[in-house]
Structure formats: C-alpha cells, structure tokens
Amino acid sequence: MLYTAEDIRQLNTKIQYQAGFIDRLRDEVGRVIVGQHHMLDRLLIGLLSNGHVLLEGVPGLAKTLAIKSLAQAIDAKFSRIQFTPDLLPADVIGTMIYNQQKHEFVVRKGPIFANFILADEINRAPAKVQSALLEAMQERQVTLGDETYALPNPFLVLATQNPLEQEGTYPLPEAQIDRFMMKVIVDYPNRAEERAILDAMATTEPLPVPRPVVSAEQIVAARHVVNMLYVDDKIRDYIVDLVVATRPPTAASFNLNGYVQTGASPRATIALTLAARAMAFLNGRHFVIPQDVKSVALDVLRHRVSVTYEAEAENITSEDVVKKILDALPVP
C-alpha cells in the first residue's frame, strides 16, 4: 500500500500523539525500575503488538517488579498468578461451582480474566496447567463447562522463569512456548545501574507505587496506529527469508547443516513483522527499516529454533544459529 504525502503527515501526527503515553509509561515505571531498558522496551513492544512476553533470568533482576510496575501504570485489571507444582487448571481459568440454594452450577471465573496476567515462575506448573493457558493465550477466550467466555481487551500474559533452578520445574511444551511472541533474556545491570539501585532501593521504606497514567483504551488506539506503519516489500521479503533460513532445509546453506532440529513457524513471521512495526513506533517513525527487524529478531526467534544433539555437543545454541543467519543474510 502506497501512502500519499497527506497520509504520511496524518500518520506522523498520530504517532507523535500516541507516543506521548509511551514517554509517560517509561517515566512512571522508571520511578521503580533502574536500568533494564532492553527488558522494558520489549515489554512495551509486546504491549503495542498484542503479544505475550516471556522473561528469563536469574532471581533478583526485577523481572516480576518490572511487569507489576508496568501493569500498575496502566489503568486496567491486573492479576498475579504464582505458579507452583500443586497448581490446578481451575486455579487459573476458574471452574463450575454448585449453588445449593439455586440448585444449579454457576461459573466462578479465575484470575485469568484480567487485562494483564503476571505468570510468575511459569515453568513451575505441570503440563495440565500449561495446557489450560493455551486457549487463553491464542484465542483470547476460556471454555468453562459448555460455555466459552471472551477475555478482556487488551489481554496480555507476561511470564517469568528462572533458568538456573531445575528441580521442581517443568520445561514449557513447544506449543506453549510458541504462543509467546518474544522470549527476553534479562541480564545483570552494569556497575553504574547497580550503584543507582543501591541508592534507590537500600531502604526499609515501601517502594514507590506507579500511578495509572495510561488507559486500556489508549493502548488499543495505539495498536491501530502501529498496524498502519509502512512495511516495504523488500522488508517483508527479508522477514520471510529470515524465518525460512531457520528451517533445516534452508539452514544448510548457512553452514548450519545438522545443527537445526526444528525452525520457526509462520507464527514467527507474523510476530517479527508486528514487533518491527512496534519498534519503529517507539522510535517515532511511520515506516519500518531493516534495523528494526534485526533488533527484535533474536527475541522473537530464540525460543522457536531448537538445535540438535550435535549442536549441543559443540556448545552451539539457538541464539548462535539466529545470530549466524542475521550476519549472513543480505540486508535490503
């Protein structure tokens, strides 16, 4: 679709108007979170792209606090679910309760019926609970008994997991992890950020609580603007080539023969396009550039590419595969 000069002017006006609440969100969350700009930007991309986000990192890196702070800065319903090995599907989605006075079953909705779901330590729950999330994450609906109930809009699952402690954890099924638009690796802060954390947090006083500065309606309106951002045909082809290159037949041409077990699905193509658009929006542009795609490619693809035992024996990870493809694939 081609844009006229007037279309571009109107789109830039909408971007500048909607970008105002992004700055307010960043400032409000920044009152609580020091540093971690990469993580916060990826959470905003998920918010703008209607995509679920999985944060992975060692304990103490403010993963849970970042998600909670972001949700508190938005005037919408927020639920936190602490995943444990004894959690049941009904604890998440709800169940049917028999009402003795009315002699009928009534629906008791679970915490999944909220705009923002913090799934804390999601890999601690067994497969039954993980499968209960599948319909909610993909279809934005939940089935209880004979009825199907729509989840509120916006609906976003923001999950955390600890990669170190494996006892009492359950690896996420492939079908489950593919529902996450991005898997973000949260790293340690640098020395300056660590000192700022000390100055801000080394107190027994309660931490600042973010104030609601954005409404759910503004989030939905911003998503409409993101969908209007221009993606050139060359960028679209680049995205497709990038995803196809992660699949075993094509991966061989990048000297990755025998290293890739399964590649990214078409869901990755969609997620990569949406994330690139959101990145362009955060940068105040009405069009997507190749760098937007490259900057989010690792977060979108790292959990969708699995490597063979041969690759593991040579200490080659899915991230190494994606990085090699990004380096070798010609940029438009």
157: which residues sit within 8 A by CB, 6+ positions away? Answer: 52, 53, 117, 119, 133, 136, 137, 180
pTM of the model: 0.86
- Average model confidence (pLDDT) across the chain: 85
In this predicted structure, the answer to whether residue 312 has a pLDDT above a threshold of 60 is yes
Residue with more model confidence, 146 or 122: 122
Helix (H) / strand (E) containing 156: strand 156-161
Q: How many CB atoms lie within 10 A of CB 313?
A: 8
In this predicted structure, the answer to whether residue 100 has a pLDDT above a threshold of 60 is yes
- In this prediction, residue 166 carries a pLDDT of 64
Share of the chain above pLDDT 70, in %: 97
What are the CA-CA distances from residue 33 to residues 4, 207, 244, 258, 299 (Å)? 41, 10, 37, 42, 21
**210-258 residue pLDDT tens:** 888 888 888 888 888 888 888 999 999 999 999 999 888 777 777 777 7
| 304, 178 contact by CB (below 8 A) | yes
For residue 116, the one-letter residue type is F
Distance CA(210)–CA(213), nearest Å, equals: 9
Share of the chain above pLDDT 90, in %: 16
- In this prediction, residue 167 carries a pLDDT of 63
Confidence of residue 296 (pLDDT cuts 50, 70, 90): very high
- In this prediction, residue 40 carries a pLDDT of 86
Confidence of residue 131 (pLDDT cuts 50, 70, 90): confident
**183-205 residue pLDDT tens:** 998 888 888 888 888 887 787 87
Main-chain dihedrals φ then ψ at residue 189, nearest 5 degrees:
-70, 160
